[in-house]
Structure 1
Amino acid sequence: MLDTVIKNGRVVDGSGNPWFKADIGIKGEIIKKIGDLTSIESRKSIDAGGNIISPGFIDPHVHSDLLCTIPDIHKIKVLQGVTTELFGQDGISVAPVSEVTKPIWQKQLSGLNGDIGDWNWLSIDEYLSFLENSDIIGNAAYLVPHGGVRTLVMGFEGREATQEECVKMRELVEKGMRQGAIGISTGLVYPPNVFSNKEELIEICKGAAAYNGCFVVHIRNESIHSLEALEEVIDISRQSGARLHVSHFKIIGHKNRDKFSMALEKMEMARNEGIEVTFDQYPYSAASTVFQAILPPWVHAGGSLKMLERLRDSENRKRIEEDFASNTTFENWVLSCGWENIVITSVMTDQNKPLEGKTMVEIARSREQKPADAAFDLLLEERGNVAMTIHWGYEEDVELGLRHPLQSVGSDGIFGGKPHPRLYGTFPKVLSEYVRKKKILTIEQAVRRMTSAPAQMMRLKNRGLIKESYFADLVIFDPNKIEDKATFDHPLQRPIGIHDVFINGVHTVSQGNYTGTAAGKVIRRD
Structure 2
Amino acid sequence: MMDIVIRNGQVYDGTGNPWMKADIGIRSGKLAAIGDLKGEQGRTEIDAEGLAVCPGFIDTHVHSDLLCTKPDIHHVKVLQGVTTELLGQDGISVAPVSEHTKPLWQQQLRGLNGDIGDWPWNSVDDYLRFLEQADLSGNVMYLVPHGAVRTLVMGFEDRKATPEELSRMRELVELAMREGAVGVSSGLVYPPNVFADQAELIEICKGAAAYNGCFVVHVRSESSRFIEALEEVIEAARQSGVRLHISHFKAIGGANRHKFADALALMDKERANGLEITFDQYPYMAGSTVLQTILPPWMHEEGAAQCLVRLADPEIRERIKRDFLHNDNFENWVKNCGWGNIVIASVASERNRQWEGSSIAEIALLKQVDPADAAFDLMIEEQGAVSMVVHWGEEEDVMQAMKHPLQLFGSDSIFGSKPHPRLYGTYPRVLGRYVRELQTLSLPQAIRQMTGAPAQLLRLKDRGLLREGMFADVVVFDPQTVADRSTYSNPLLEPVGIACVIVNGTIAVRNGAFTGVTAGRVIRAAGTGSA
Global fold match (TM > 0.5): yes
Partner of 2:340: 340
Give 3-state SS (helix, strand or coil) of 1:15's partner: coil
Q: Give RMSD over aligned pairs.
A: 0.5
Equivalent residue number for residue 317 of structure 2: 317
Residue aligning to 2:91: 91
Q: Is 1:106 aligned to 2:106, yes or no? A: yes
Alpha-carbon distance in 2 for matches of 1:369, 1:163: 47
1:8-53 CA deviation, whole Å, 9 max, x = no partner? 1000111000000000000011000000001112211110122000
AA partner of residue 102 (structure 1): K
Q: In structure 2, what is the Cα distance between the partners aligned to 1:424 and 1:233?
A: 31
Instruction: State the Cα deviation string for residues 313-333 of structure 1 (Å, max 9, x = none).
Output: 111000000000010000000
Q: Within the alignment, does 1:349 sit opposite 2:349 as a pair?
A: yes
**Structure 1 match to 2:457:** 457
C-alpha distance in structure 2 between counterparts of 1:130 and 1:175, whole Å: 18
**Deviation, structure 1 residue 417:** 1.5
Matched, 1:52 2:47: no
Alpha-carbon distance in 2 for matches of 1:303, 1:395: 36
Percent identity, aligned pairs only, is 62
2:364 aligned partner, one-letter code: A
Unaligned runs of 5+ in 1: none
Q: How does 1:20-39 map to 2 (within 5 A)?
A: 20-39=20-39
User: In the TM superposition, what are the counterparts of 1:268-347 in structure 2 within 5 Å?
Assistant: 268-347=268-347
The aligned counterpart of 2:483 is 483
* Residue pairs, 1:73-84, within 5 angstroms: 73-84=73-84
Q: Which runs of 4+ in 1 moved over 6 A?
A: none
CA distance in 1, matches of 2:398, 2:516: 35
Instruction: Provide, for residues 387-407 of structure 1, a one-character-per-residue CA deviation record: whole Å limited to 9, x for no partner.
Output: 000000101100001100100
Structure 2 gap segments, 5+ residues each: 527-531
Deviation at 1:154, TM superposition (A): 0.5
Counterpart amino acid of 1:522? Answer: V
Deviation at 1:211, TM superposition (A): 0.3
SS of the equivalent of 1:181 reads coil
Q: Which residue of 2 aligns with 1:133?
A: 133
Counterpart for residue 185 of structure 2: 185
Distance across 1 between alignment mates of 2:407 and 2:470: 23
- In 2, distance between residues paired with 1:375 and 1:34? 56
**Whole-angstrom distance in 1 between the partners of 2:147 and 2:428:** 33
Distance 1:260 1:442 in 2: 22
Q: Which amino acid aligns with 1:45?
A: E
Q: CA deviation at 1:160?
A: 1.4
The one-letter amino acid of 1:110's match is: R
Partner in structure 1 of residue 418 of structure 2: 418
State the partner residue of 1:445.
445
Q: Distance in 1 between matches of 2:297 and 2:44?
A: 57
Equivalent position amino acid for 2:136 in 1? I
Alpha-carbon shift at residue 343 of structure 1 (Å): 0.3
Cα distance between partner residues in 2 of 1:95 and 1:499? 36
Q: TM-score, normalised by structure 1?
A: 1.00
Question: Counterparts in 2 of 1:55-66, with a 5 A limit?
Answer: 55-66=55-66
Distance 2:144 2:101 in 1: 16
Distance 1:432 1:33 in 2: 29
Corresponding residue for 2:145? 145
Q: Which residue of 1 aligns with 2:165?
A: 165
Secondary structure at the counterpart of residue 131 of structure 1: helix
Deviates more, 1:415-424 or 1:153-162: 153-162
AA aligned to 2:369 is: Q
One-letter amino acid matched to 2:53? I
SS at match of 1:76: coil
- In 2, the alpha carbon distance for the partners of 1:417 and 1:404 equals 34
> How far apart, CA to CA, are the structure 1 residues paired with 2:501 and 2:360?
40
In the alignment, residue 263 of structure 2 is paired with which amino acid? A
Partners of 2:178 and 2:240 in 1: CA distance? 18
Distance 2:395 2:160 in 1: 38
- 1:22 counterpart SS class: strand
For the residues of structure 1 that align with 2:385 and 2:57, how far apart are their CA atoms? 30
Task: Tell me the distance in 2 between the aligned counterparts of 1:121 and 1:520.
Answer: 20
Match of 2:529 in 1: none
Shift in Å, 1:222: 0.1
Residue 12 (str. 1) matches residue 8 (str. 2)? no
Q: Which residue of 2 aligns with 1:516?
A: 516
* Partner SS, residue 352 of structure 1: helix
SS of alignment partner, residue 76 of structure 2 = helix
Deviation at 1:170, TM superposition (A): 0.2
Q: Number of residues paired by the alignment? A: 526
The letter for the 2-side match of 1:378 is L
TM-score when normalising by structure 2: 0.99
Amino acid at match of 1:480: Q
Give the superposition deviation at 1:460. 1.0
Deviations 1:350-395 (A, max 9, x none): 0100000000100001111000111111110001110000000101
- One-letter amino acid of the counterpart of residue 374, structure 2: A
User: How far apart are the structure 2 equivalents of 1:289 and 1:407?
Assistant: 21
CA deviation vs aligned residue, 1:57-84 (integer Å, no higher than 9, x gap): 0000000000000001000000000000
Instruction: Give distance in 1, aligned partners of 2:182 and 2:300.
Output: 29
Inter-partner Cα distance in structure 2 for 1:40 and 1:494: 35
Cα separation, 1, equivalents of 2:504 and 2:323: 50
